[in-house]
A and B are shown apart, each in its own frame.
Chain A
Amino acid sequence: MKTCRDYLTFRFGVVLSVAVLLTAAGALCVTPAEAQTREPGVRSSPTHPPFPRPPLPGAGFRRLSPEDQNRAREIVRLYLRQGSRQPYQAEERTRLFRDRMIESTQIVKHQGPGRTRIEYTDPPLLQGDILLVNGGRIFKYIRRQNRILEGPVPVEEFNNRAQALLQGVIKGRITVRVVGSEQIAGQNAAIVEIRPVRGGAFFKRLWIDERTGVRLKIEDADPQGNVISTSYFTRIDYSPSFLPRDFSPASLPNVLHEPLLPDTPPLPNVQAAQQQVPYPIYEPSLPAEFTLTGVWVAPPAGQPVTILRYTDGVITFALFQHPVRLPQNAPERRRVPPARLINGAARWISGDRSYFLIGNLKPETFRQIVSSLP
């Protein structure tokens, strides 16, 4: 009996010591950063064959005369001044051309300047989502999360951008030209190409209804002319009958509203933002054609994030930055910034700072930004 007890005690001691050693080895081998990357339930993105991107219809168009350029300016003016006032209800399809195409279908209701409602009908993941712009505010209802994100969209800011665009066209910083015409949703549309003279080489094409000035289609293209994204109407009704509640936030589900951006107007410069954050704001080095259009300090989760938004007159990009605590032995891939933007976005960590950039930029411009930030 005693021998048996002694044997069991001996085994208990051995098992205890082995357990202690294994626990210690596990704690030393699994770093916190690795543990953070093991997110349960998150699937890795599947790989897909490259999706062929359609070329722009104006790729081989003839060179246009000054008269055509004047006509293009008039159409842009029509779009900016009259098109936003035209009420309509349309079905719109949006496509993003990435590794594989992503598509959505939505109903767009537009009642006038700053009054737009977008109701998603497809894909199923977005079905029921609503974007509502009204009264100088934007509401994004996400059905699957049952929450509403809310932020300011001052009408005067929209008008200022429209005015800046017209000024850029008049002063020759932005070139516009009509590159063709096409029927979109049963309406005759002039295809207007808008490029910054000395910009980031990405450009846009707008299909403007020559009668109403409504934008029927928009395409974003890379410097090679490949379409990155497009949205176009498949049908449109210029005599819609809206319900009084259609443009009211009260029409949205009664769920908690979460702030997206501060209600104050965008800050005019980095110095003004610097007074609101406890960390130094880093400004990137940019080609001369890019200018700062606004600075925001957003406080999601109590952490102030600084947003710098730049434009070359046509395309815009936003740089988000905030301090981050990264373990010393975190995987190196988190510290190495990507060489280029992937699907119009990139996130990287440098020093004590986390950066997130959204927009379309040439690889060399993006590298210049990354290398200029500490």
Chain B
Amino acid sequence: MNCRKIEPLLSEYLNNSLSARETLAVDRHLSECNACARLLNEMRQTVSLLASAPRREVSPDFMANLQARLAQTPAPTPRRVWRDNLRAMFRPRTLPAWGMAAAACALLLFLPIPRHVITPPPAPNDTPVQTADSIAQIAKNQHVALTAYSPLDDLAAANLAASSADLENEPAGERPAR
């Protein structure tokens, strides 16, 4: 046994409360280790000093009063549980999972990103494609207005054609009879 294991046992060694096996181990260590022997001596001197000190009598209700005051003492500042949980999340056992997540993120960072993913801000004269769809519908209505300019054009047919997309998509029940 080394010093780190022997030191916690010295107090019980003084009280003769160790098992025979532990007592033998401590004896064997103390015979070889001056530091632990010196520590044991200091502990013995402290115990004897305390034993020789004068004793004071306390009132019979001392313990009851002590418990009551302890109960009135404000609760200690709560421990920062989240910090402990955070530490627990990064225990060595969980590091492989975090490593995978970090590797995935790093992989994404280094992947070549296609240009379309990063959409440039629209230039003032550009029109998004979806807007162009609505412009096409506006164009059909403008064509209706322009048809009214000409004596040879069929205004009603132009207007029906402008609505044809909606009519062709209407449910069968709403179709005109042939």
Contact = CB atoms under 8 A, between A and B. Distances in A.
B140 A358 contact: yes
Nearest to A48: B168
Interface in B122-136: 122-132, 134-136
A325 B128 contact: yes
A123 B150 contact: no
Contact of B88 (A5, A21, A298, A305): A5
A203 B93 CA distance: 84
Contact of A356 (B139, B153, B163, B170): B139
Given A31-B116, A102-B160, A354-B132, A153 B148 contact: yes
Given A36-B130, A94-B160, A301-B134, A24 B108 contact: yes
Contacts, number: 251
B161 interface: yes
What does DSSP make chain A's interface, helix, strand, loop or mixed?
Answer: mixed
Interface in B94-147: 94, 96-98, 100-101, 103-105, 108, 111, 114-117, 119, 122-132, 134-136, 138-146
Interface stretch (A11-19, A63-71, A245-253): A11-19
Nearest to B153: A316
Interface residues of B, number: 68
A261 interface: yes
B157 A94 contact: yes
Contacts of A303: 125, 127, 131, 135
Given A161-B149, A307-B142, A323 B125 contact: yes
Contacts of B89: 9
A104 B156 CA distance: 9
Q: How large is the interface on A (under 10, 10 to 19, 20 to 34, 35 or more residues)?
A: 35 or more
Contact of B157 (A28, A158, A229, A322): A229
A109 interface: no
Contacts of B166: 125
Interface of A: 2, 5-6, 9-14, 16-17, 20-21, 24, 27-28, 31-33, 36, 42-43, 45-46, 79-80, 84, 92, 94, 96, 98-104, 106, 108, 116, 118, 122-126, 129, 131, 133, 138, 140, 149, 151-154, 157-158, 161-162, 165, 194, 204, 206, 218, 220, 229-231, 260-261, 278-279, 294, 296, 298, 300-301, 303, 305, 307, 309, 311, 314-316, 318, 320, 322-330, 334, 343-345, 347, 349, 352, 354, 356, 358
